[in-house]
Amino acid sequence: MMQGASARSGPAAVGPGLPIRVAVIGGGCAAVAAAFELTRPEHRGRYQVTLYQLGWRLGGKGASGRGPVDRIEEHGLHLWMGFYENAFRLVRECYAELARDPSTCPIADWRDAFAPAPLVGVVERGSDGRWVPWTVRLPPTEGLPGDPYPATARWTMADYAGRAAQLVRSLLESLRADGRFPTGQRPPAPGAGRADRGPDQTPEAVAEGIARLLRYGELATLTALTEGVATLATMIGDLSRYPENLVLRFLDALATNARAQLEALAEADPEIRRLWIIIDVTLATLRGIVRFGLMTDARGFDAIDEYDCREWLLLNGASRQSVDSAYMRGLYDLVFAYEDADPSRPRFAAGQALRGMVRAFFTYRGAFFWRMQAGMGDVVFAPFYQVLTARGVRFEFFHRLESLRLASAARLQDGESPHVEALEFDVQAEIAEGGEYRPLREIGGLPCWPAAPDYDQLVDGDRLRREGWEFESFWERRKAGTRTLRVGEHFDLVVLGVGLGTIPHVCRDIVARDPRWRAMVDHVKTVGTQALQIWLAADMKELGWAEAPVTLSGFVEPFDTWADTTHLLPREGWRQGPRALAYFCNALPDLDGAADRSSPEYPARQREQVRRNAVRFLDRDIVHIWPGAARREGGFRWELLVDAREFERAGPAHTGEARLASQFWTANVNPSDRYTLSLPGSSAYRISPLDPTYDNLAIAGDWTDCGFNAGCVEAAVMSGRLAAHAISQSPALEDIVGYDHP
Amino acid sequence: MAPAPSALVPAVLKEYGDVTRVALCDYLGPREPRRHLYSLVADYPRRGGRMLRPSLCIATARAFGAGLEDAVRSAVAIELLHNAFLVHDDVEDESDERRGRPTLHALHGVDVAVNVGDALTLLSIRALIDNRKTLGERLAMRVLEEAERMAQETVEGQAIELGWRRDNALELGESDYFTMILKKTCWYTTIFPLRVGALIGTRDRFDLDRFVRFGFFLGAAFQIQDDLLNLVGDPGRYGKELDGDIWEGKRTLMLIRLLHQATVEERAWLQDVLGRPRRLRTTEDVHAIRERMDAYGCIDHARGVAHGLAGAALHECAPLFGALPDTRDRRFVEGVARWVLDRT
Amino acid sequence: MGTNERVKRPRLDRTQPIRSWVNLFDLSGASGQPATEGGRGASLGDVISRSVDLGYRVVDDYIRQGQKAAERLSGRSYGPDTLGSDAQELGARMMKYTSDFLGLWLQLMELAMGGGAWRAGVPPTPARATPSQETPAARAAPSTDGRTEAPDETPVRIKVVSLWPTEVALDLRPGAARAPLVIQALRAVEPDVPRLDDVSFTAGSEGDPPLLCIRVPPSQPPGTYNGLLIDPQTSRPVGTVSVRVSRE
């Protein structure tokens, strides 16, 4: 077995206590990022990493497999955003190190793996009951995500506030330029409303001008309003120079006037209404930033995390229609921000929501969204698996952590910190001949993860296959054996990169003894999700979607988000058949018995629930945005669904609703598959990967206090890098893009 | 994370200071036919000084991998230029004392001082041109370009400050102060030495603009600390007369804050005092201004800002030097951010 | 297994993000606030953090505009052939900056502009005049007088009238001698020494080289006297004259 020494850069680190053995538990983005950092050539083999993963595939919530016809089967919809600097950087480095041969592998370079997806949108329901999509093609920006950051890049609250003001200004300008709008004849007041503060314009003079404006109510025209916002934008650079109540009054006046001029027209004109919604929300954000003193608060956006985002916007003057608009709803949908998956309880911590929005809109590089060109497992986790293996990381598949045991408090020596003493695993299956499990299968030149384990490599494989062991299920108790690892003997340090839902089950020791951990599992919550993938015999145009492939959110539950993933079809094994592919996802409410191991039928019940949801959705709801998918008498044209197995076997095809059985859907109800929420007030209970309490443990995951406290790939990667820093002081914290950030 | 007092920074300052002084003598030596002038020219540099600028230059160059010999001449040039500015500053400020002795113009008259300052500048340029022998034509040219940029910035900064005094400007904000300081002091005190050091050390492969922030914060903290010492420093060690800045009406951060905080009557009074020529200001005036500064906490404020800027300097230093091998030179540069506040 | 043998995580300097980076440095004594505590309200810490934030804004704006400044200064080629004169030109420009500033200051203080400006790096070529009594000694060999180091040659005549041994050094920018130039009185370093007023630089008439004429009165104290040659069209110095009067 290869030791973890890299031959590339100098002699291996050997000596007493070296190499340091690190047990990384989990195989999702966080764990993989940590392993990737700890085994960089610069460390010269100082850390010998072994990664423990249940089942047969890496990926955690990002795992994907290949089913019949090699179709891609995902946990859910994974969109990478253009501000995922850490995630992209690691992926790019991984591909560079992998150095695949483009003549044999269709995804050899990271740009083969990711493509820009600039068309995004939400769906709104008009007063006539029709659903109307509101799409926008966000312009490409300079550079690519993962590029090195220039020296002048620095994110401050004031910068974002300035950009927000500029955004409002440009929206107002576009309204003026549009011509649909009366611009008014009155010239702006002298002194105020100048786009650039001249060198002789001291803040006092500008403030005087603004006070004059306010006195004489001169913001009543769109022109004046635009100039007023321009003044605001320059003021933001120097806000401390102005008396706070003047700034607030100015903001109030701008908002009031904007509303007065636009809201009435917005009723009749949907274009104006959409712009007004964004302007309203942005002005309320600016007002809130000033009122809550966020510019100088050391906590940055965290200072308002007890509020729900919409609640906070309302507090700062946004109108209810704006806050309930499809725009805001779409935002919430993207992060499943519904407590207990209840669509009547949208809850998203305001601080993290704003942080996410400013990063998403103002710092994206290349494109706003980036789409993967195959399953996430194929595009991300297979390359990482290959690179990590080449670097000497050992992978122990079919190892499920059952318990993380702390050294008993009584036995701690003087001044010794609490620490992890043992790791207890269920060994779900053993590898035949004691070798290492080879998890990948090549499909179309691309190494992929299969949708089921390779039973031929497993001891008693036939029996396991026959008995249908569900290795990834929380309710599967069968195993081939157990294994206990002890500190000092088998490992030195631990990176715990499992999903949050698992923590109460596997960290009973810590949760019992440590009130902070208890509070964390009480307050940082997760939600189950449901996902549906359908392969369609007609293309999107025939189905009635005329625009380019889109990612659309804000639709109706049970599947409020739709992504057109037709581009994945060439990667699958279809010889003929589907012309379109669609992925849907949504939060999934729990039924009774969610986390209870004693109700093994729970996952099946939920799966059935999702199936019913899918039927209802396709029959009743999808037709609103795919008019061509409806039958004349109503309901879904089930014959549109393409059955993978129809190509493989003879026999009558299913008809009607039964055709759904051939599609793919999941109910993500395993505790570790549940999505991490950012509920108001929960951020304070998160624990950082850097937390030093346990001197041989670092946690990792999008549920930790990682600087970007939301459920997403970027947070997970950041947390993995932080865990690596906790272990090895590398990467430098300043190198973790977005960690030091308001 | 309290900073421990470090002996490293003073030790490196002394070492590189000595090296620079020795090399400086090459350019100051008695030489026909200008022997008379040269003895004057050598006066200020011979009076000592902290040698922060040349040390930053040498240390940065070495931290990036260059040798001492590569950087020395540029260090000499920086120090000569610094002294030229000191001579001219003293004339312009009408100061009486510099480094514990009377100023040059107090000793020999204004015209002489002006000529001496010019001569120091020229010698500095000659040192930079002589870089051609050690660094090669192209790199020497780049250093000269940097020097030109720095000279221009410094002069513009001086002009801004002078304009404030000439116009008796009272409507100044901290951002005005920072802008002026950035140009007048930071460029030649920190930004230029760092940039030239990196230029030499990497043979012009580094994006030098990355040093502007670090250099600005470092230089600003340094300058504010200097201004603080002018008010509260130990007269035996400081080298200029205390409260001298108030005498000159120099727009320091403390004065600007005082102008902000003052009542309407106080501002009118300040306008009057600051509007007079120096010789018409009295000791009572200066003490009264100083007292108002204390009353409004201007000193404490400036001290806090200097700390904050030093902290920002530390923060900006990490991405620049963090990836370099851990050498004494690198630790010196990183240590300077703390040292600028510890010195007296 | 003893605790000292067990591998532990390293101690970390920092375990929190910097959301407002001013609080990074330990403000011990300065503001009385611990390193990572934040707070709203007008505490000293807030005021200071505003100041430092301002500093960031100033330098960031400056950096953004700095490109333009750099562009102003760049834009010439640096091949080895141009290097010689370019270095000197740069040096002269640098000198000009400081001198210009001085001029401003001197104007303000209502003092006459003074000082000499040696051409950087090039020691002036002395031209000796033979002492004679009231006899103008014309040096009519343009090939050795006032010769600059620049590639093109600018012949200049120098006429010195002096009782004492006098050395004249003339530095002139290439091409400058074609126009009539203004020369100021030459001054010594010591302010109480009288100036050399009787100096002139006149253009030659058709084909003749220009003439630099210097008269040294008998009473002139020994010393070195310097002055600028100014191009009246641009009001800029284009050269310097240095005259050394000795006594033996």
Q: What is the pLDDT of residue C237?
A: 67
Minimal C-alpha gap between B76 and chain C (Å) = 16
**Interval A40-49: pLDDT, tens:** 988 889 999 9
Q: Are B290 and B243 in contact (CB under 8 A)?
A: yes
A693 near C CB under 8 A: no
By CA distance, what is A300's nearest residue in C?
C19
Question: Which range among A716-725, B30-39, B93-102 shows the weakest confidence by mean pLDDT?
Answer: B30-39
> CA-based angle A31:A37:A38, to the nearest 5?
90
Q: Dihedral of CA A62/A66/A68/A72: which sign?
A: positive
A224: pLDDT strictly greater than 70: yes
pLDDT band with cut points at 50, 70 and 90 for residue A13: low
pLDDT band with cut points at 50, 70 and 90 for residue C91: low
Asked whether the beta carbons of residue B173 and residue A202 sit closer than 8 angstroms, the reply is yes
Cβ under 8 Å to B: C residues 119-148: 120-121
Q: What is the pLDDT of residue A196?
A: 40
Q: What is the pLDDT of residue A189?
A: 37
Closest CA to B121 of C230, C173, C243, C99: C99
Helices of type H across A431-538: 461-467, 503-506, 508-513, 515-523
A499 against A656, higher pLDDT = A499
Q: Are A262 and A279 in contact (CB under 8 A)?
A: yes
Q: For residue A469, which phi and psi values (nearest 5 degrees)?
A: -70, 130
Asked whether the beta carbons of residue A707 and residue C17 sit closer than 8 angstroms, the reply is yes
By CA distance, what is C88's nearest residue in B?
B129
Those residues whose C-beta lies under 8 Å from the C-beta of residue A663, and which sit 6 or more positions away, are: A532, A533, A534, A535, A614, A641
Cβ neighbour number for residue C197 with a 10 Å cutoff: 10
Closest CA to C144 of C132, C126, C119, C131: C126
Those residues whose C-beta lies under 8 Å from the C-beta of residue A112, and which sit 6 or more positions away, are: A102, A106, A373
Closest CA to A257 of A209, A290, A230, A224: A224
Asked whether the beta carbons of residue C55 and residue B312 sit closer than 8 angstroms, the reply is yes
B249 against A51, higher pLDDT = A51
By CA distance, what is A153's nearest residue in B?
B210
Determine the Cα–Cα distance for residues A532 and A636; give it in Å rounded to an integer: 15
Determine the Cα–Cα distance for residues B256 and A241; give it in Å rounded to an integer: 13
On chain A, the residues whose CB falls within 8 A of the CB of C23 are 298
Q: What is the pLDDT of residue A40?
A: 93
A10 against A610, higher pLDDT = A610
Q: Are A546 and A628 in contact (CB under 8 A)?
A: no
**Interval A569-607: pLDDT, tens:** 999 988 888 999 999 999 999 987 666 778 888 999 999
C33: pLDDT strictly greater than 70: no
Q: Are A375 and A66 in contact (CB under 8 A)?
A: yes
**Interval C196-237: pLDDT, tens:** 888 888 877 767 788 888 998 888 888 888 777 777 776 666
Q: For residue C241, which phi and psi values (nearest 5 degrees)?
A: -125, 135
Those residues whose C-beta lies under 8 Å from the C-beta of residue A12, and which sit 6 or more positions away, are: A3, A5, A6, A19, A44, A45
Mean pLDDT (whole number) for C4-23: 78
**Interval B93-134: pLDDT, tens:** 666 767 667 777 777 777 777 777 777 887 888 888 888 888
By CA distance, what is C56's nearest residue in B?
B213
A99: pLDDT strictly greater than 70: yes
Q: What percent of chain A has pLDDT over 70?
A: 90
Determine the Cα–Cα distance for residues A252 and A246; give it in Å rounded to an integer: 10
Asked whether the beta carbons of residue C12 and residue A739 sit closer than 8 angstroms, the reply is no
A202 near B CB under 8 A: yes
Question: A740: helix, coil or strand?
Answer: coil
**Interval C42-63: pLDDT, tens:** 355 566 667 777 788 788 777 7
The mean pLDDT of chain B is 83
Reply yes or no: is the peptide bond before residue A558 cis, omega within 30 of 0.
yes
Cβ neighbour number for residue C212 with a 10 Å cutoff: 26
Q: Between B192-202 and B137-166, two packed helices, what is the crossing angle to 10 degrees?
A: 170
**Interval A523-568: pLDDT, tens:** 999 999 999 999 999 998 889 888 777 878 877 777 888 899 999 9
CA distances from B54 to B19, B183, B191 (A): 10, 19, 12
Minimal C-alpha gap between A684 and chain C (Å) = 13
Closest CA to A92 of A357, A363, A370: A370
**Interval C174-199: pLDDT, tens:** 666 666 788 877 877 666 778 888 88
Question: A170: helix, coil or strand?
Answer: helix
Minimal C-alpha gap between C62 and chain B (Å) = 8
Among partner residues B114, B141, B162, which is closest to C114 by beta-carbon distance?
Answer: B114
Determine the Cα–Cα distance for residues A540 and A668; give it in Å rounded to an integer: 28
**Amino acid identity, residue A40?**
R
Best residue in C12, C13, C16, C20 for a mutation probing chain A (most A CBs within 10 Å): C20
Q: What is the pLDDT of residue B214?
A: 92
Say how far residue B5 (Cα) sits from the centre of its chain. Answer: 23
Best residue in C13, C18, C19 for a mutation probing chain A (most A CBs within 10 Å): C19
Residue with tokens 């905080």: B261
**Interval B212-236: pLDDT, tens:** 989 999 999 999 998 998 888 766 6
Asked whether the beta carbons of residue C18 and residue A740 sit closer than 8 angstroms, the reply is yes
Determine the Cα–Cα distance for residues B294 and B312; give it in Å rounded to an integer: 26
Mean pLDDT (whole number) for A188-211: 53
pLDDT band with cut points at 50, 70 and 90 for residue C244: confident
Residue with tokens 């690179």: A387
**Interval A276-285: pLDDT, tens:** 888 899 999 9
By CA distance, what is B162's nearest residue in C?
C105
C79: pLDDT strictly greater than 50: no
**Interval A386-420: pLDDT, tens:** 999 999 999 999 999 999 999 998 888 888 889 99
Best residue in B78, B89, B107, B125 for a mutation probing chain C (most C CBs within 10 Å): B125
Determine the Cα–Cα distance for residues C38 and B252; give it in Å rounded to an integer: 28
Q: What is the pLDDT of residue C89?
A: 63
Minimal C-alpha gap between B317 and chain A (Å) = 11
ipTM for this model: 0.81
Q: What percent of chain C has pLDDT over 90?
A: 2
Among partner residues A238, A297, A698, which is closest to C9 by beta-carbon distance?
Answer: A698
On chain C, the residues whose CB falls within 8 A of the CB of B191 are none
A734 against A399, higher pLDDT = A399
On chain B, the residues whose CB falls within 8 A of the CB of C167 are 33
Q: Are B55 and B328 in contact (CB under 8 A)?
A: no
Q: For residue A526, which phi and psi values (nearest 5 degrees)?
A: -125, 170
By CA distance, what is A148's nearest residue in B?
B319
**Interval C93-133: pLDDT, tens:** 666 555 544 444 333 332 222 222 222 222 333 333 333 32
- CB-facing half-sphere around the CA of A179: CA atoms within 13 A: 0
Look up residue A434 and give its DSSP letter: G
Determine the Cα–Cα distance for residues B55 and A318; give it in Å rounded to an integer: 56
pLDDT band with cut points at 50, 70 and 90 for residue A475: very high
Question: C159: helix, coil or strand?
Answer: strand
C4 near A CB under 8 A: no
pLDDT band with cut points at 50, 70 and 90 for residue A187: very low
A130 against A188, higher pLDDT = A130
A182: pLDDT strictly greater than 60: no
Q: What is the enclosing helix (H) or strand (E) of A584? A: strand A580-588
The mean pLDDT of chain A is 86
Asked whether the beta carbons of residue C23 and residue A417 sit closer than 8 angstroms, the reply is no
Q: What percent of chain A has pLDDT over 90?
A: 52
On chain C, the residues whose CB falls within 8 A of the CB of A728 are 10
**Interval A482-533: pLDDT, tens:** 999 999 999 999 999 999 999 999 999 999 999 999 999 999 999 999 999 9
Closest CA to C226 of C116, C146, C120: C116
Retrieve residue C90's tokens: 């740069």
Give chain B as a 3 state SS string: CCCCCCCHHHHHHHHHHHHHHHHHHHHHCCCCCCHHHHHHHCHHHHCCCCCHHHHHHHHHHHHCCCCHHHHHHHHHHHHHHHHHHHHHHHHHHCCCEECCEECHHHHHCHHHHHHHHHHHHHHHHHHHHHHHHHHCHHHHHHHHHHHHHHHHHHHHHHHHHHHHHHCCCCCCCHHHHHHHHHHHHHHHHHHHHHHHHHHHHHCCCCCCCHHHHHHHHHHHHHHHHHHHHHHHCCHHHHCCCCCHHHHHCCCCHHHHHHHHHCCHHHHHHHHHHHHCCHHHCCHHHHHHHHHHHHHCCHHHHHHHHHHHHHHHHHHHHHHHHCCCCCCHHHHHHHHHHHHHHHCC
Residue B174's region, left for phi above 0, alpha for psi from -120 to 50, else beta, is alpha
Best residue in A154, A163, A296 for a mutation probing chain C (most C CBs within 10 Å): A296
Q: What is the pLDDT of residue A506?
A: 96
Mean pLDDT (whole number) for A460-485: 94
pTM above 0.90, yes or no: no
Q: What is the pLDDT of residue A503?
A: 96
Asked whether the beta carbons of residue C102 and residue B310 sit closer than 8 angstroms, the reply is no
B333 against C119, higher pLDDT = B333
Mean pLDDT (whole number) for A130-141: 81
Cβ under 8 Å to C: A residues 483-522: 487-488, 492-493
Whole-number CA gyration radius for chain C: 30
Determine the Cα–Cα distance for residues A228 and A188; give it in Å rounded to an integer: 8
